[in-house]
């Protein structure tokens, strides 16, 4: 500041200097003295002002005690109203290229549920998800997810409320929701690390099992994460069907255990079991020109063991991080297929392992291996879709994705899909965009 | 009768760990340290994140859910800083007392005046926080305000130790005010010094010390700096040079390192919070070290 005035004085001098002749040396001296006087004057005034400013700042530094503790008024109005309830929309679409006809998809040894397969070929819109969620009041939370299919059909994927304030670590959830079995089962498709879900989930659960019902969880009061869950469900969706047992046709139980290892590693393991009753469960009729086994009526029991390991240097996933996950699913079914005279009793199982590595901010690379195994249900089922033959279905996938921010993602994926006896080269180019509220994601 | 048999041990288990220490779950190290200052041995604090983690991007890990389950007081920044993970913890932890609106939920941002409150909210502007910039603790005067409210809250939750918390609160506030005066004296020469920041984590610090922010390496908050934007910043710095580029210990080193190689300015790594540097062992150390590092770079 002081220099600035000095500079003005200099400029004044320079600007007037051509006007003065050498003879006016005395006048110039007088002028210099005048400017010096002015400068001193201003310096004094500025110092005074600076002192006053300092004093004022000291005052504002320690405001009166009452104003401190009171939340700042006028700030809340921006947020709570604008963001309650939290509304978000997921846009999702892809370009795909398949070697084999996706309409004729089948897996030997499996009577797949309806709409099971690699999806549409070419340019297509995938499901758009519309999510509304909020705390209902101090005791409840509610969430609603509507999936809009590209065929202009709306489907309620989830619609549930959940308690926030039950004592002793209990949480109750009721409505329609994805069952807590396994690890991938609860995740909505936009959260998958690959364009498609694991083969075992596709074959045994038609991607994921969600149903109407109630879920009770109990979280143990320990430093190690230990959670138990029980579910009673309607039993109206694959692998259950027909809402048997007066509309309580399925139930499940699960245990989750998790923790950290140092600051950089965290893990979770889980064991779950689903018991489902199926009444006239339909299967997709695609596949080779074999007689379909028909509708299934009987019991279906699914066991899932899941494991997730996440690594991020110092627990900071911003630059690099790695997620490894693996799950094993086994389904035992016991019942009757409508077109086959002999009873069906066999075990089908599958597993996958995948690793997704973020090698630099925004870029991730993922590898996945899938394998299925189906027991031969016997001679009566030879030449039906349930005859596994001597083929072991496998799939190898690699993906690369780019996220401009947490809200936008583009993905390129290649599958060498040998779930059918012939090899299918599958390419996916996919986008996922999320609009609206920040969705906090589960582990 | 059978129900009673099952319920009794459950009730006992719920009642047993009562009133030994006030169990506090702190989202960030600065609040963990503040609770420790105010609560001494009457509290047990679990801090969910470290100084090397980005408080915006923390995973809702199972271990955090388990720890929140038995907390009596949750102390976080609020202002949507933890929006990517805290809501999941609150929903999964099955703990009624720490839900928003209850005495066990304490958001520090409720007690300070927010800066950078956007007039207009659009994600094209990056990851903006509608309630304002949440990095409030980088101004120690804000910590003084939060400390007062926090001490009151701790008294409310643990009335048995009312006198203890109050005495510690008064003591802390006296020591803190003296320290603020010291830091302000030490930092006088920093007034008006032009700086570049990596993320907008420093508005409160800059405001407090009277630094002058001439550029930010993130073109938009939360979106990693692109090389094109970095080149622009470097070009702009030729016209109006800055003394230093500031980043937090948890932030990616590359952008500021690149810039300090390109333009004549010092690269300063500030602890950002307690634990960010070996010197920042507690709140006092945090600001001692912050001021010291800034002074060294300005010289």
- How far is residue A71's CA from residue A66's CA, in Å, rounded to a whole number? 10
Q: Which of A316, A318, A408, A435 is most worth mutating to test chain B (most B CB atoms within 10 A of its CB)?
A: A316
| Residue among A135, A218, A440 minimizing CB distance to B88 | A440
Q: Would you state the CATH architecture of domain A103-111+161-432?
A: Beta Barrel (2.40)
**pLDDT score of A11:** 45
Instruction: For helices B162-186 and B283-298, give the axis angle rounded to 10 degrees.
Output: 10
Q: Would you state the CATH architecture of domain B20-182?
A: 3-Layer(aba) Sandwich (3.40)
Contact B93, B68 (CB under 8 A): yes
The most confident of the ranges A241-250, A312-321, B135-144 is: B135-144
Q: Which of A71, A72, A325 is most worth mutating to test chain B (most B CB atoms within 10 A of its CB)?
A: A72
- pLDDT digit string, tens, across residues A350-400: 999 999 999 998 999 999 999 999 999 999 888 888 888 889 999 999 999
**pLDDT score of A437:** 78
ipTM score of the complex? Answer: 0.85
Record: contact B130-A166, CB cut-off 8 A:
no
Task: Provide the residue count of chain A.
Answer: 443
Which tokens hold the place of A31?
């002028």
B-facing residues of A in 2-61 (CB < 8 A) are: 61
**pLDDT score of A78:** 40
Q: Closest approach of chain B CAs to the CA of A122, in angstroms?
A: 30
The DSSP bridge pattern shows strands B22-26 and A140-148 to be unpaired
List chain B residues with CB under 8 Å of A256: 62
Domain ranges of chain B: 20-182, 187-298
Please check the confidence at residue A48 and state whether its pLDDT lies above 80. Answer: no
Record: contact B114-A266, CB cut-off 8 A:
no
List per-block mean pLDDT (blocks of 10 residues) for chain B, which spans 299 residues. Answer: 50 52 96 96 95 91 95 95 92 93 95 87 73 93 96 96 96 96 94 91 94 88 82 87 91 88 89 95 96 92
- The average confidence (pLDDT) of chain A is 85
Q: How far apart are the first and last CA of chain B?
A: 78
Q: Closest approach of chain B CAs to the CA of A37, in angstroms?
A: 28
**pLDDT score of B147:** 97
Query: Quick check: B221 contacting A, CB < 8 Å?
Result: no
Q: Closest approach of chain A CAs to the CA of B193, in angstroms?
A: 14
| Distance set, CA A251 to CA A247, A254, A274, A330, B40 (Å) | 11, 10, 6, 16, 48
Confidence of residue A20 (pLDDT cuts 50, 70, 90): very low
Domain ranges of chain A: 2-68, 103-111+161-432
Query: Quick check: B178 contacting A, CB < 8 Å?
Result: no
A-facing residues of B in 101-130 (CB < 8 A) are: 101-102, 110-114, 117, 121, 123, 126-127, 130
Q: Closest approach of chain A CAs to the CA of B112, in angstroms?
A: 6
Three-state DSSP at B112 gives coil
Q: For B187-298, which CATH superfamily applies?
A: Nitrogenase molybdenum iron protein domain (3.40.50.1980)
Q: Look up tokens 């005791």; give the residue.
A: A139
List chain B residues with CB under 8 Å of A440: 60, 83-88
Q: Look up tokens 């839900």; give the residue.
A: B99
- How far is residue B218's CA from residue A280's CA, in Å, rounded to a whole number? 58
Query: Who's near A342: CB < 8 A, 6+ residues apart?
Result: A378, A380, A381
List chain B residues with CB under 8 Å of A438: 80, 83-84
**pLDDT score of A41:** 67
Q: Closest approach of chain B CAs to the CA of A186, in angstroms?
A: 14
Residue, of A27 and B55, whose pLDDT is higher: B55
B55: closest chain A residue by CA: A316
Confidence of residue A69 (pLDDT cuts 50, 70, 90): very low
> Span A240-261, mean pLDDT?
93
Q: Closest approach of chain B CAs to the CA of A45, in angstroms?
A: 20
- pLDDT digit string, tens, across residues B73-105: 999 999 989 988 999 999 999 999 999 989 999
B96: closest chain A residue by CA: A165
Q: Residue A325, Cβ neighbours under 10 Å: how many?
A: 20
| Residue among A82, A259, A315 minimizing CB distance to B130 | A82
Please check the confidence at residue A170 and state whether its pLDDT lies above 70. Answer: yes
**pLDDT score of B220:** 80
Check for a shared fold between B20-182 and B187-298. yes
- pLDDT digit string, tens, across residues A182-239: 999 999 999 999 999 999 999 999 999 999 999 999 999 999 999 999 999 999 999 9
Q: Residue A130, Cβ neighbours under 10 Å: how many?
A: 18
**pLDDT score of A406:** 85
Please check the confidence at residue A130 and state whether its pLDDT lies above 50. Answer: yes
Query: Who's near A52: CB < 8 A, 6+ residues apart?
Result: none
Q: What is the 3-state secondary structure (H, E, C) of chain A?
A: CHHHHHHHHHHHHHHHHHHCCHHHHHHHHHHHHHHHHHHHHHHHHHHHHHHHHHHHHHHHHCCCHHHHHCCCCCCHHHHCCCCCCEEEEEEEEEEEEECCCHHHCCCCCCCCCCCCCCCCCEEEECCEEEEEEEECCCCEEEEEEEEECCCCCEEEEEEEEEECCCHHHEEEEEEEEECCCCCHHHCCHHHCCCCCCCHHHHHHHCCCCEEEEEEEEEECCCCCEEEEEEEEECCCCCCCECCHHHHCCEEEEEEEEEEEECCCEEEEEEEEEEEEEEEEECCCCCCCCCCCCCCEEEEEEEEEEEEEEEECHHHCCCCCEEEEEEEEEEEEEEEEECCCCCCEEEEEEEEEEEEEEEEECCEEEEEEEEEEEECCCCHHHCCCCCCCCCCCCEEEEEEEEEEEECCEEEEEEEEEEECCCCCEEEEEEEEEEEEECCCCCEC
B173: closest chain A residue by CA: A62
Query: Quick check: B191 contacting A, CB < 8 Å?
Result: no
Three-state DSSP at B69 gives helix
B151: closest chain A residue by CA: A69
């Amino acid at each position: 500041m002081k220099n600035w005035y000095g500079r003005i004085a200099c400029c004044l001098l320079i600007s007037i200097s051509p006007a003065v002749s050498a003879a006016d040396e005395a006048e110039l001296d007088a002028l210099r003295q005048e400017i010096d006087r002015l400068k001193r004057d201003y310096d004094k005034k500025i110092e005074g002002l600076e002192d006053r400013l300092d004093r004022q700042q000291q005052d504002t530094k320690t405001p009166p005690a009452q104003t401190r503790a009171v939340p700042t008024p006028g700030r809340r109005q921006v947020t709570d109203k604008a963001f309650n309830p939290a509304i978000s929309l997921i846009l999702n679409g892809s370009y795909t290229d398949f070697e084999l006809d996706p309409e004729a998809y089948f897996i030997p040894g499996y009577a797949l549920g309806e709409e099971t397969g690699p999806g549409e070929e070419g340019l297509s819109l995938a499901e758009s998800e519309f999510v509304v969620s909020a705390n209902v009041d101090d005791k409840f939370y509610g969430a609603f997810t509507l999936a809009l299919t590209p065929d202009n059909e709306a489907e309620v994927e989830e619609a549930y409320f959940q308690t926030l304030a039950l004592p002793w670590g209990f949480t109750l959830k009721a409505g329609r929701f994805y069952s807590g079995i396994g690890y991938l089962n609860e995740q909505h498709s936009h959260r998958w690390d690959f364009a498609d879900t694991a083969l075992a989930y596709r074959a045994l659960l038609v991607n994921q099992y969600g149903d109407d019902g109630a879920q009770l969880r109990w979280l143990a009061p320990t430093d190690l994460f230990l959670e138990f869950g029980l579910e009673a469900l309607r039993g109206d969706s694959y692998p259950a069907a027909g809402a048997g047992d007066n509309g309580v046709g399925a139930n499940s139980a699960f245990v989750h255990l998790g923790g950290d290892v140092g600051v950089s590693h965290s893990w979770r393991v889980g064991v779950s079991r689903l018991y489902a009753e199926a009444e006239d469960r339909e299967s997709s009729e695609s596949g080779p020109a074999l007689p379909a086994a028909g509708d299934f009526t009987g019991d279906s029991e699914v066991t899932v063991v899941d494991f997730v390991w996440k690594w991020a240097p110092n627990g900071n996933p911003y630059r690099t991080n790695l997620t490894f996950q693996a799950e094993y699913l086994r389904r035992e079914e016991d019942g009757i297929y409508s077109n086959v005279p002999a009873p069906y009793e066999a075990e089908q199982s599958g597993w996958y392992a995948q690793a997704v590595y973020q090698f630099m901010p925004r870029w991730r690379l993922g590898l996945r291996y899938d394998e299925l195994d189906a027991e031969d249900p016997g001679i009566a089922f030879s030449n039906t879709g349930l005859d596994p033959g001597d083929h072991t279905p496998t799939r190898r996938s690699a993906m690369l994705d780019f996220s401009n921010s947490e809200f936008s993602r583009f993905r390129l994926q290649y599958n060498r899909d040998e779930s059918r006896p012939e090899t299918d080269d599958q390419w996916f180019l996919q986008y996922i965009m999320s609009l609206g509220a920040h969705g906090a994601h589960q582990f | 009768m059978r129900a009673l048999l099952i319920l009794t041990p459950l009730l006992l288990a719920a009642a047993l760990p009562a009133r030994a220490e006030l169990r506090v779950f702190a989202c960030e190290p600065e609040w963990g340290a503040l609770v420790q200052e105010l609560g001494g041995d009457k509290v047990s604090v679990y801090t969910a994140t470290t100084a090397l983690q980005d408080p915006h991007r923390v995973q809702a890990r199972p271990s955090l859910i388990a720890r929140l389950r038995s907390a009596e007081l949750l102390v976080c920044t609020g202002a949507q800083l933890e929006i990517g993970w805290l809501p999941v913890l609150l929903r999964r932890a099955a703990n009624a007392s720490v839900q928003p609106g209850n005495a066990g939920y304490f958001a520090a941002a409720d007690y300070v005046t927010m800066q950078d409150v956007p007039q207009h909210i659009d994600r094209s502007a990056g990851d903006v926080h509608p309630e304002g910039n949440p990095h409030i603790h980088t101004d120690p005067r804000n910590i003084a305000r939060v400390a007062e409210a926090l001490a009151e809250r701790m008294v409310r939750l643990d009335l048995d130790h009312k006198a203890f918390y109050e005495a510690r609160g008064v003591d802390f506030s006296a020591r803190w005010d003296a320290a603020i005066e010291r830091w302000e004296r030490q930092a006088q020469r920093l007034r008006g010094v032009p700086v570049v920041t990596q993320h907008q984590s420093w508005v409160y610090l800059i405001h407090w010390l009277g630094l002058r922010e001439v550029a930010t390496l993130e073109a938009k908050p939360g979106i990693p700096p692109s090389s094109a934007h970095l080149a622009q910043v470097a070009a702009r710095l030729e016209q109006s040079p800055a003394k230093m580029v500031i980043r937090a210990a948890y932030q990616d080193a590359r952008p500021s390192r690149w810039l300090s190689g390109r333009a004549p300015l010092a690269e300063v790594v500030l602890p950002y919070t307690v634990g960010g540097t070996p010197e920042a062992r507690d709140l006092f150390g945090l600001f001692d070290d912050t001021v010291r590092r800034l002074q060294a770079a300005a010289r």
